[in-house]
Structure 1
Protein backbone atom coordinates (compact mmCIF):
# COMPACT_ATOMS: atom_id res chain seq x y z
CA UNK A 1 0.00 0.00 0.00
CA UNK A 2 1.49 3.34 -1.05
CA UNK A 3 1.29 6.01 1.63
CA UNK A 4 3.25 8.73 -0.18
CA UNK A 5 1.30 11.96 -0.43
CA UNK A 6 0.16 15.14 1.21
CA UNK A 7 -3.06 15.00 3.24
CA UNK A 8 -5.35 17.55 4.85
CA UNK A 9 -7.45 16.84 7.92
CA UNK A 10 -11.01 15.95 6.96
CA UNK A 11 -12.42 14.73 10.29
CA UNK A 12 -11.31 13.59 13.71
CA UNK A 13 -12.91 11.97 16.75
CA UNK A 14 -11.91 12.16 20.42
CA UNK A 15 -8.88 14.41 19.82
CA UNK A 16 -9.37 16.57 22.91
CA UNK A 17 -9.95 13.50 25.12
CA UNK A 18 -6.83 11.89 23.65
CA UNK A 19 -4.69 14.98 24.31
CA UNK A 20 -5.96 15.10 27.88
CA UNK A 21 -5.19 11.39 28.36
CA UNK A 22 -1.56 11.89 27.27
CA UNK A 23 -1.10 15.06 29.31
CA UNK A 24 -1.48 17.72 26.60
CA UNK A 25 -4.77 19.19 27.74
CA UNK A 26 -3.60 22.77 27.01
CA UNK A 27 -2.97 22.07 23.31
CA UNK A 28 -5.14 23.80 20.73
CA UNK A 29 -7.34 21.51 18.67
CA UNK A 30 -8.84 23.76 16.01
CA UNK A 31 -5.96 23.76 13.53
CA UNK A 32 -5.79 22.71 9.91
CA UNK A 33 -3.51 19.66 10.12
CA UNK A 34 -1.39 18.71 7.11
CA UNK A 35 0.28 15.30 7.04
CA UNK A 36 2.98 14.57 4.50
CA UNK A 37 4.27 11.04 3.98
CA UNK A 38 7.28 10.17 1.86
CA UNK A 39 7.69 6.44 1.29
CA UNK A 40 10.63 4.79 -0.45
CA UNK A 41 10.08 1.05 -0.15
CA UNK A 42 10.17 0.31 3.60
CA UNK A 43 11.62 3.74 4.51
CA UNK A 44 9.25 6.52 5.57
CA UNK A 45 9.35 10.15 6.60
CA UNK A 46 6.10 11.11 8.31
CA UNK A 47 5.49 14.81 9.02
CA UNK A 48 2.50 16.54 10.58
CA UNK A 49 2.19 20.32 10.53
CA UNK A 50 -0.08 22.94 12.02
CA UNK A 51 0.67 26.67 12.12
CA UNK A 52 3.84 27.24 14.20
CA UNK A 53 4.48 23.52 14.91
CA UNK A 54 5.87 20.57 12.95
CA UNK A 55 6.45 17.01 14.14
CA UNK A 56 8.37 14.52 12.02
CA UNK A 57 9.62 10.94 12.27
CA UNK A 58 11.72 8.91 9.87
CA UNK A 59 11.59 5.15 10.19
CA UNK A 60 12.07 1.85 8.40
CA UNK A 61 9.36 -0.81 8.57
CA UNK A 62 10.63 -4.01 10.16
CA UNK A 63 13.28 -2.25 12.26
CA UNK A 64 13.51 -0.74 15.71
CA UNK A 65 13.78 3.00 15.12
CA UNK A 66 14.57 6.17 17.03
CA UNK A 67 11.31 8.14 17.11
CA UNK A 68 9.91 11.27 18.73
CA UNK A 69 6.62 11.77 20.55
CA UNK A 70 4.32 14.76 19.96
CA UNK A 71 5.89 16.37 23.05
CA UNK A 72 9.43 15.94 21.66
CA UNK A 73 10.55 13.02 23.85
CA UNK A 74 12.76 10.45 22.11
CA UNK A 75 12.09 6.71 22.30
CA UNK A 76 12.91 3.51 20.42
CA UNK A 77 10.29 1.12 19.05
CA UNK A 78 9.88 -1.41 16.25
CA UNK A 79 7.78 -0.30 13.29
CA UNK A 80 5.53 -2.99 11.83
CA UNK A 81 3.52 -3.18 8.60
CA UNK A 82 0.74 -5.72 9.07
CA UNK A 83 -2.40 -6.15 6.94
CA UNK A 84 -1.61 -2.87 5.16
CA UNK A 85 -1.36 -0.94 8.45
CA UNK A 86 1.68 0.76 9.93
CA UNK A 87 1.82 0.01 13.66
CA UNK A 88 3.98 1.72 16.28
CA UNK A 89 3.80 1.51 20.07
CA UNK A 90 4.48 5.03 21.34
CA UNK A 91 5.15 5.34 25.10
CA UNK A 92 1.59 6.53 25.89
CA UNK A 93 -0.42 5.12 22.99
CA UNK A 94 -0.56 2.65 20.11
CA UNK A 95 -0.51 4.24 16.63
CA UNK A 96 -1.90 2.68 13.45
CA UNK A 97 -2.19 4.17 9.98
CA UNK A 98 -3.68 2.81 6.79
CA UNK A 99 -4.92 3.94 3.40
CA UNK A 100 -8.60 3.51 2.49
CA UNK A 101 -10.11 4.94 -0.68
CA UNK A 102 -7.27 7.47 -1.10
CA UNK A 103 -7.69 8.66 2.51
CA UNK A 104 -5.14 8.38 5.29
CA UNK A 105 -6.77 6.88 8.41
CA UNK A 106 -4.84 7.19 11.68
CA UNK A 107 -5.88 5.75 15.04
CA UNK A 108 -4.17 6.34 18.37
CA UNK A 109 -5.31 4.39 21.44
CA UNK A 110 -4.04 5.13 24.92
CA UNK A 111 -3.25 2.13 27.05
CA UNK A 112 -4.08 3.31 30.53
CA UNK A 113 -7.19 5.38 29.86
CA UNK A 114 -8.42 3.51 26.78
CA UNK A 115 -9.14 6.63 24.70
CA UNK A 116 -9.12 6.11 20.92
CA UNK A 117 -8.50 9.11 18.70
CA UNK A 118 -9.29 8.73 14.99
CA UNK A 119 -8.15 11.11 12.26
CA UNK A 120 -9.21 10.92 8.61
CA UNK A 121 -7.25 13.01 6.09
CA UNK A 122 -7.91 13.47 2.39
CA UNK A 123 -5.20 13.58 -0.25
CA UNK A 124 -4.47 17.08 -1.56
Structure 2
Protein backbone atom coordinates (compact mmCIF):
# COMPACT_ATOMS: atom_id res chain seq x y z
CA UNK A 1 0.00 0.00 0.00
CA UNK A 2 1.30 3.43 -0.90
CA UNK A 3 1.71 6.04 1.82
CA UNK A 4 2.11 8.85 -0.74
CA UNK A 5 -0.22 11.76 -0.12
CA UNK A 6 -0.94 14.85 1.92
CA UNK A 7 -2.66 14.43 5.29
CA UNK A 8 -4.16 17.01 7.67
CA UNK A 9 -4.15 16.27 11.41
CA UNK A 10 -7.68 15.43 12.50
CA UNK A 11 -7.33 14.06 16.05
CA UNK A 12 -4.84 12.91 18.66
CA UNK A 13 -5.00 10.93 21.89
CA UNK A 14 -2.70 11.15 24.95
CA UNK A 15 -0.72 14.07 23.49
CA UNK A 16 0.18 15.82 26.77
CA UNK A 17 1.15 12.70 28.72
CA UNK A 18 3.29 11.34 25.90
CA UNK A 19 5.09 14.61 25.19
CA UNK A 20 5.91 15.04 28.89
CA UNK A 21 7.18 11.47 29.08
CA UNK A 22 9.64 11.96 26.20
CA UNK A 23 10.90 15.24 27.66
CA UNK A 24 9.24 17.94 25.57
CA UNK A 25 9.16 21.26 27.54
CA UNK A 26 5.75 22.42 28.82
CA UNK A 27 5.74 25.61 26.71
CA UNK A 28 6.40 23.58 23.55
CA UNK A 29 3.64 21.12 24.49
CA UNK A 30 1.26 24.03 24.98
CA UNK A 31 2.13 25.56 21.59
CA UNK A 32 1.87 22.27 19.74
CA UNK A 33 -1.33 20.98 21.29
CA UNK A 34 -3.69 22.62 18.79
CA UNK A 35 -1.50 22.81 15.68
CA UNK A 36 -3.36 21.44 12.67
CA UNK A 37 -0.20 20.46 10.84
CA UNK A 38 0.08 18.67 7.52
CA UNK A 39 2.06 15.51 6.83
CA UNK A 40 3.27 15.06 3.29
CA UNK A 41 4.62 11.67 2.21
CA UNK A 42 6.35 10.91 -1.07
CA UNK A 43 6.99 7.20 -1.56
CA UNK A 44 9.16 5.93 -4.40
CA UNK A 45 9.32 2.16 -3.99
CA UNK A 46 11.06 1.62 -0.64
CA UNK A 47 12.34 5.20 -0.38
CA UNK A 48 10.31 7.79 1.52
CA UNK A 49 10.42 11.54 2.05
CA UNK A 50 8.25 12.24 5.11
CA UNK A 51 7.57 15.89 5.96
CA UNK A 52 5.58 17.38 8.80
CA UNK A 53 4.63 20.96 8.00
CA UNK A 54 3.98 23.15 11.06
CA UNK A 55 3.30 26.90 11.08
CA UNK A 56 6.72 28.42 10.36
CA UNK A 57 8.63 25.11 10.43
CA UNK A 58 8.94 21.93 8.37
CA UNK A 59 10.60 18.74 9.62
CA UNK A 60 11.61 16.22 6.93
CA UNK A 61 12.98 12.71 7.31
CA UNK A 62 14.22 10.76 4.30
CA UNK A 63 14.68 7.01 4.59
CA UNK A 64 14.78 3.73 2.72
CA UNK A 65 13.17 0.63 4.20
CA UNK A 66 15.79 -1.65 5.76
CA UNK A 67 18.67 0.83 5.48
CA UNK A 68 20.15 2.95 8.26
CA UNK A 69 19.08 6.57 7.84
CA UNK A 70 19.65 9.78 9.77
CA UNK A 71 16.35 10.90 11.26
CA UNK A 72 15.14 13.65 13.59
CA UNK A 73 12.78 13.35 16.55
CA UNK A 74 9.82 15.63 17.26
CA UNK A 75 12.17 17.72 19.38
CA UNK A 76 14.67 18.02 16.51
CA UNK A 77 17.32 15.67 17.94
CA UNK A 78 19.10 13.70 15.21
CA UNK A 79 19.79 9.97 15.40
CA UNK A 80 20.29 6.95 13.13
CA UNK A 81 17.59 4.31 12.72
CA UNK A 82 16.37 1.57 10.42
CA UNK A 83 12.72 1.79 9.32
CA UNK A 84 11.01 -1.57 8.84
CA UNK A 85 7.92 -2.40 6.82
CA UNK A 86 5.85 -5.15 8.48
CA UNK A 87 2.31 -6.02 7.49
CA UNK A 88 1.80 -2.68 5.72
CA UNK A 89 3.06 -0.72 8.75
CA UNK A 90 6.18 1.42 8.90
CA UNK A 91 7.96 0.82 12.21
CA UNK A 92 10.89 2.82 13.59
CA UNK A 93 12.59 2.81 16.97
CA UNK A 94 13.27 6.40 18.01
CA UNK A 95 15.57 7.09 20.95
CA UNK A 96 12.79 7.11 23.56
CA UNK A 97 9.83 5.53 21.77
CA UNK A 98 8.57 3.24 19.03
CA UNK A 99 6.64 4.84 16.17
CA UNK A 100 4.24 2.96 13.87
CA UNK A 101 2.59 4.49 10.79
CA UNK A 102 -0.13 2.87 8.72
CA UNK A 103 -2.92 3.74 6.30
CA UNK A 104 -6.38 2.88 7.67
CA UNK A 105 -9.45 3.65 5.56
CA UNK A 106 -7.38 6.15 3.55
CA UNK A 107 -6.22 8.00 6.66
CA UNK A 108 -2.70 8.17 8.11
CA UNK A 109 -2.68 6.63 11.59
CA UNK A 110 0.48 7.17 13.64
CA UNK A 111 0.99 5.44 16.96
CA UNK A 112 3.91 6.17 19.30
CA UNK A 113 4.54 4.01 22.36
CA UNK A 114 6.79 4.72 25.36
CA UNK A 115 6.69 3.89 29.05
CA UNK A 116 3.18 2.44 28.92
CA UNK A 117 1.71 5.51 27.17
CA UNK A 118 0.30 5.25 23.66
CA UNK A 119 0.03 8.46 21.67
CA UNK A 120 -2.18 8.19 18.60
CA UNK A 121 -2.58 10.68 15.77
CA UNK A 122 -5.07 10.38 12.94
CA UNK A 123 -4.65 12.53 9.84
CA UNK A 124 -7.18 12.71 7.02
CA UNK A 125 -5.97 12.43 3.42
CA UNK A 126 -6.46 15.79 1.67
CA UNK A 127 -4.49 15.09 -1.52
Q: What is the TM-score when the length of structure 1 is the normalising length?
A: 0.94
Q: Does 1:22 align with 2:22?
A: yes
Shift of residue 4 of structure 1? 0.2
Specify which structure has the higher proportion of helix.
2
Q: Runs (4+) of structure 1 moved beyond 3 Å? A: none
Unaligned runs of 5+ in 2: none
RMSD: 0.9
What is residue 92 of structure 2 aligned with on the other side?
A: 88
Distance 1:31 1:70 in 2: 13
What is residue 107 of structure 1 aligned with on the other side?
A: 111
Distance 2:10 2:70 in 1: 29
Matched length: 122
Q: What is the TM-score when the length of structure 2 is the normalising length?
A: 0.92
Distance 2:74 2:11 in 1: 19
